[in-house]
Structure 1
Amino acid sequence: MTLIIEDGTGKPDAESYASAEDLAMYAVKFGVTIPAEVPAQEALLRRAALAMDGMTWKGRKSSSEQALSWPRRGVELDYEIKPDNYLPARIQYGQMALAAEIHTDDIDPVDQRQGAVIRERVEGAVDVEYAPISNKSGRLLPAAPDRPSRTQFADYLAKRGLFAVRA
């Protein structure tokens, strides 16, 4: 089933900001692994779009009828209010990065990952011990310490950076 792509008009049935073809070109450009089959690529893009809908973005939806979080009105960037139909390229790139990250998490399950090397002993044979990865929250941990999608989204999220909470 072909993806319905958001083009900045606030489509009520949009499923993605990028096409499977866009994702395939992104994977080649940035050397990330994605499934070879178009339906699997489209499924990843749909999953990434759903994850993006759970993020807190600047501004508010341009229309209550639109399916996805973007386009948005009231988005201020570099001291400039962006138009209501503004669909940043970094939202599309971020979705593709997030789709690749989701695929990495799918093929490298959390319970099979290893933490940093905390002990390495070399005598006759090499003995390596890895730190356990705690996952008490039940949420997936990132496959890598840096997530390219978060870098793409940073200017468009309502909160950015580290925040201290006073107890």
Structure 2
Amino acid sequence: MSLIVEDGTGVPNAESYVSISDADEHFAALENSSWTRASSGLKENALKNASAYADLYSYPGYLLNAQQGLKWPRAKAYDQDGRRLFGLPTALRAAVLELAVEMINKSAAETFRRPIREKVGPLELVYSNTQKQPSFVFRLLMKIGARPYSITMQRG
């Protein structure tokens, strides 16, 4: 089955913000051998999962059309500097690429755990299983207004 890629027009049933060929080109330019060695199936799953992760957040504006498969593109969306966002923002595509290669390199649990103790000589790093820190991916998504969903309860 081929990957259905969002092209910035609101593709119905889209599964990824980045195509395998675009990702291949990106990681070849960076000489990332773990991506280039991965199978097409693994790459496709990583791009789908990374796009699904990006869609876990809430974003400004609203969907460009009700039939689109992913949360982007959006109408009336602005970045953190007040610039209007059209199509697929660069930060979104960069976040998906970063997360996809991380998913190939190691488990997602390792990707987002927070170091709670570091030791410089003879090197020791201990991770917390409960404390998380904003990842590089989330910081990229924050540039386009990503916010974790929050539930507001009202008594009354």
TM-score normalized with structure 2 length: 0.72
State the identity as a percent.
26
State which of 44, 47, 51 in structure 1 corresponds to 2:46.
44
Distance in 2, matches of 1:12 and 1:158, equals 22
Distance in 1, matches of 2:85 and 2:126, equals 45
Q: Which deviations, in whole Å up to 9, do the C-alpha atoms of 1:45-100 show, x marking residues without a partner?
A: 000011011012221211222110100011124444445xx222332222111211
- RMSD value over aligned CA atoms? 3.1
- Provide the aligned length of Structure 1 versus Structure 2: 141
TM-score normalized with structure 1 length: 0.68
Residue matched to 1:124: none
Distance in 1, matches of 2:29 and 2:141, equals 19
Residue matched to 1:89: 90
Q: Confirm or deny: 8 A CA contact 1:55 1:157 kept in the other structure.
A: no
Following TM superposition, the consecutive aligned residue runs of length 4 or more in structure 1 with deviations greater than 4 angstroms are none
Distance in 1, matches of 2:8 and 2:123, equals 50
Q: Confirm or deny: 8 A CA contact 2:42 2:104 kept in the other structure.
A: no
Aligned residue for 1:134, secondary structure, equals: strand
1:4 Cα offset (Å):
0.7
Distance in 2, matches of 1:29 and 1:73, equals 32
Q: Confirm or deny: 8 A CA contact 1:10 1:70 kept in the other structure.
A: yes
Distance in 1, matches of 2:109 and 2:99, equals 16
Q: Confirm or deny: 8 A CA contact 1:119 1:130 kept in the other structure.
A: yes
1:117 Cα offset (Å):
4.2
1:156 Cα offset (Å):
0.6
The gaps in structure 2 that reach 5 residues or longer are 148-156
Structure with bigger gyration radius = 1
The gaps in structure 1 that reach 5 residues or longer are 121-127, 160-167
Residue matched to 1:75: 77
